[in-house]
Structure 1
Amino acid sequence: MTLANDIYRRCGCRNTEGKQYRALPARPDTEDRERGCPKMPDPKHGTWGFYIAAGTDPRTGKRKQHRKAGFPTEKAARVARNKVAATIDNGTYTAPNKITVEQYLAEWLPRRERTGKGLKPTTVSNYRRYIENDLTGSTVGVVKISELRRDHVQRYVDQLMDDGRGAETIHRIVAVLKTAFKYAVRDGFMGANVANDIDLPTVERKPITVWEVKDLQQFFNEAAKHRLGDLFQLVARTALRRGEVLGLRWGDVDFVEAKLNIKHSRVEVRGVAVEQESVKTDASKSSVELDPAAVDALMRWKIRQDTEREMYGDLWEGVGHVFTMPNGSPLNPSYVTKLFTKLRKAAGTPSLTLHGLRHEHAALMAQAGIDVMIISKRLRHSNIAVTSNFYGHLMPNVSRNAASKVSQLMDAENTDVHTLHTQGQFLGTKNALAETVNDSDKGVQPSPLADLNRRPALYEGAALPLS
């Protein structure tokens, strides 16, 4: 329900003091007429308008009032007022305002960062980059947010495509708008999220390229010469993300159960390393099992770090991170990335990023015929579709092994029945051949396809050897 509403008539005439006459209500009393313009008895004098209470402004906390004038008749003003009242009642009201999209985004992001669950530093940094570099000053950014329509956003996306911007970048820019406009709708700045249902370019995901096993072993041999060689061993054997391995604390390592509990992530925002208490997705928070070689790598590193701690004594700066600089201070993400590239080049292996070691781990599981659901759980993806999209082309053996195992089960369960069935066929064929031979004396020639119903070969269900 609206708090207050009314219809009025107003003209531009002024009294003897030079002040504009007050508006005349649609149903004026004597006092209203006396204070109004003397020409108001003429029904054609002035124009009609309305005002209506429209809740509270979430930014200022003040009551909002929607006003509009210039209607030729009382009926026209009343119809317009009722339409606005309906949008207020059903929650789709958009208050007229002069705030542009870029102004709203500049206010929204800091507020979103502070309230609720907030956003991770990396997400805030990415949002800010797209807002400052792409949306501010754009054909969308300069439009008043209350006047923005879906067509504005679509034309902006089309322009980005014409300018040659990448499909992934365009998707991310629109994602920023979708998220921001969700709050704009809630706050009453727009009636609907106009960034929804936009026609976006298709993101063509390139197949993942990985090393051969000999390349991985060659890299390991080179990395072993560096004090942080065990870090890369752990990444390759656990598929940890860069931020996860750098945020790992000794309290997250369970040597008894041979697993890691992923709780922290160390990322870089505008050149500054930042610790996040949460990881990329909820699925990423699960534990990661360690193979014996990974446990050995961690044990070797712990012995080395303990030795360094003793050497530095009171100058030790460690706060519990697993992998650190010699003085115990946490590692900078960009330093580790550059170190990986340096070691890779020294090893003479094909081009690969540090994140490529995670792909390498997944690829080896796929080539070993491990089920995609297990691979997805191992990589801690949010859902199995993500795993399939990335590594589906590397999993031909999974289907082949499944078919072989099904065939093996079918043969095992039906061996006796199959034997009786084929023996019956054989006896029937033998009797038929005997009759045919006996008929040869009568001028009937025996069939050259006497073994047509022979017993089919039984195949052993086994996976094909890995290439």
Structure 2
Amino acid sequence: MTPPRDTPASRRSRANGDGTVYQRKDGRWEAAGYVLAPGNTRRRVRVYGTTRKDALAKLTEKMAASNRGLLIPSAQGSVAAYLMYWLESVAVHHLRENTHTRYAACVNRYLIPGLGKKKLAKLTAKDVRTWLNQLRTTCQCCTRRIDARRDQPHCCAAGRCCSKLLSPLTLTYLHSVLKSALEHAVREEEIPRNVARNVRTGTPRPRRFEPLTADEARRLLTASQGHRLHALFELALHTGLRKGELLGLRWEDLDLDAGTAAIRRTLQRTTAGGLTTLPTKTRASERRIALPTRCVQSLKLHHEQQEREREAAGTAWRDSEHVFTTAQGGSIDPTNLTRAFTTLLRKAGLRRIRFHDLRHSTATLLLEQGVELVVIKELLGHAHIGVTATVYAHVRLRLQRDAIDTLSTALDGPTIAETANGDGDEAPPCAALVR
């Protein structure tokens, strides 16, 4: 029996656990060793270098990070594969159905075509920035071959590009979807950091809207007199409630004696469940608001009208417990409310606006009346006062200009009148001190 060979430690090229380093046939040097991986396991990694020293330095860096408890990225699949996993297994349980549908459209239309083929572990901030720059400067008719599918092409397929570019708001939204997906990959220890956070897209300008003036709002309310949903339009203009919040109101949410309303839910149409009652948009949206006296009176009249409709419908009545319903007691589809609102605008001779612009009209009119921004924030149910300040910055600027003009008029002082005797011996009266 041959005795075991004793090899002195000084003759070993690498100690046990330090990995191996050797030169490949193509001339490069390869170093391999075991590092910490997710699931409290160890995984063999390989690094390469032009010299033995380079390869050894890369392996030493990875093993040192592993000894500090940092996990090695395990994402070997593509960005497309992870995005589909995130949509189907993660986001679907945390997002509303409509939001999940929008996220899926962003992923399928823009993220996967632009970044899907790249390895998730090798995705860099430069890749994200290059992708955003391409979206910012490329016609979508060309990229998504929209024009080629039309019966009569009028853009790229016809030889004249329409340069239909994505808006800054859309680019910011796409960037936020990618950041959300990569943030979850970081939490699952698939990648060490979220590279999309290192890319700045800039702050887009708020979407422009045209709120109603005070005169236009009065004309709208006058035209809605006699309409079965007059109380809804009046409540929308006086409180700034969202469309879904108005349609989701139940009689149990109203205290007409105290003149208050509790906003707890919203009504939306979803692809799977149809008309569905959901919690409010955010936690801050769940609030209690005060009702104006005229809205309280309108709601009382509306309740009496609803009782008459209940008697007329008989057994066909569907008790949804909502404040605003159809003539048979069912929930009102948001699309049907939009149609009724458009018809009302036409009847009042007003320009066409969105129903959501009633909310903007409420905030604008309140600001012009000198109401504090924090009160408007609580009434509208914004999560942060910065949202209110940003959306209505143009209104605040106009109010600042009016205030400055008022101050300028005060500083000019009253016109100095001649004294009654007119002999000129007395000193002219001093202007009033401006405080």
TM-score if structure 1 supplies the norm length? Answer: 0.71
Partners of 1:309 and 1:50 lie apart in 2 by 78
More displaced stretch, 214-223 vs 183-192: 214-223
User: How does 1:57-456 map onto structure 2 within 5 Å?
Assistant: 63=41, 65-68=43-46, 78-90=56-68, 93-95=71-73, 97-113=75-91, 118-138=94-114, 140-163=115-138, 164-205=165-206, 208-270=209-271, 273-275=274-276, 277-395=278-396, 396-397=398-399, 451=427, 454-456=429-431
Cα 1:156–1:76, aligned 2, differ >3 Å: closer, same or farther?
Answer: closer
Letter of the 2:100 partner, please give it: V
> 1: CA distance between counterparts of 2:125 and 2:28?
37
- Give the AA of the match of 1:143: K
Q: Distance in 1 between matches of 2:105 and 2:389?
A: 30
1: CA distance between counterparts of 2:66 and 2:340? 59
Structure-2 change in CA distance of 1:68 and 1:232 (3 Å) = same
Q: Deviations over 1:24-60 (max 9, x none)?
A: xxxxxxxxxxxxxxxxxxxxx9975423143335xxx
Q: Which letter does structure 1 place at the counterpart of 2:389?
A: S
**Contact persistence 1:5–1:50 (CA under 8 A):** no
Give the distance between the partners of 1:74 and 1:458, measured in 2 at CA.
84
Q: CA deviation at 1:267?
A: 2.1
Partners of 1:204 and 1:220 in 2: CA distance = 31
AA at the equivalent of 1:237: H
1:195 alignment partner, SS class: helix
Q: Which has the larger radius of gyration?
A: 1
Cα 1:275/1:88, change in 2 over 3 Å: farther
CA distance in 1 between counterparts of 2:183 and 2:405 reads: 47
Cα 1:123–1:5 shift into 2, 3 Å: farther
- Which 5+ residue runs of structure 1 have no aligned equivalent? 14-44, 409-447, 462-467
**Where does residue 37 of structure 2 map in the other structure?**
55
CA distance in 1, matches of 2:224, 2:202: 41
**CA contact under 8 A between 1:105 and 1:180: conserved in structure 2?**
yes
Kindly provide the amino acid, as one letter, of the partner of residue 341 in structure 2: F
- Aligned-residue offset at 1:382: 1.9
Say if 2:275 and 2:333, in contact at 8 Å, map to a contact too: no
Aligned CA distance change for structure 1 residues 322 and 113 (closer, same or farther; 3 Å): farther
- Which ranges of structure 2 fall in alignment gaps of 5 or more residues? 1-15, 139-164, 411-423
CA RMSD of aligned residues (A): 3.4
Between 1:202-211 and 1:317-326, the stretch displaced more is 202-211
TM-score (norm 2): 0.76
Shift of 1:390: 2.2
SS in 2 for 1:87: helix
Instruction: Report deviation, 1:119.
Output: 2.0
Per the alignment, do residues 250 and 450 of structure 1 end up closer, same or farther by CA in structure 2, a change over 3 Å counting?
A: same
C-alpha change, 1:169 and 1:46, in structure 2 (3 Å) is closer
Shift of 1:315: 2.9
User: Distance between the aligned counterparts of 1:11 and 1:258, measured in 2?
Assistant: 83
Aligned residues: 377
1:368-411 residue CA offsets vs partner (Å, 9 max, x unmatched): 12222222222222222222222233245578679999xx9xxx
CA gap of 1:193–1:451, structure 2 versus 1, over 3 A, is same
Inter-partner Cα distance in structure 2 for 1:71 and 1:385 = 51
The amino acid across from 1:128 in the alignment is A
* In structure 1, C-alpha distance between the alignment counterparts of 2:329 and 2:59, rounded to whole Å: 68
Matched-pair contact (CA < 8 Å) for 1:370–1:398: no
Q: Give me the whole-angstrom Cα distance separating, in 2, the residues matched to 1:210 and 1:160.
A: 32
Deviation at residue 255 of structure 1 after TM alignment: 1.5
3-state SS of 1:287 partner: strand
Counterpart code for 1:85: M
Give CA deviations for 1:114-136 in whole Å, capped at 9, x if unaligned: 55xx2223322221121122112
Partners of 2:24 and 2:350 in 1: CA distance: 82
Helix, strand or coil for the counterpart of 1:282?
Answer: coil
Distance 1:89 1:168, change over 3 A: farther
The amino acid that maps onto 2:337 is: V
Maintained 8 Å contact 1:102/1:136: yes
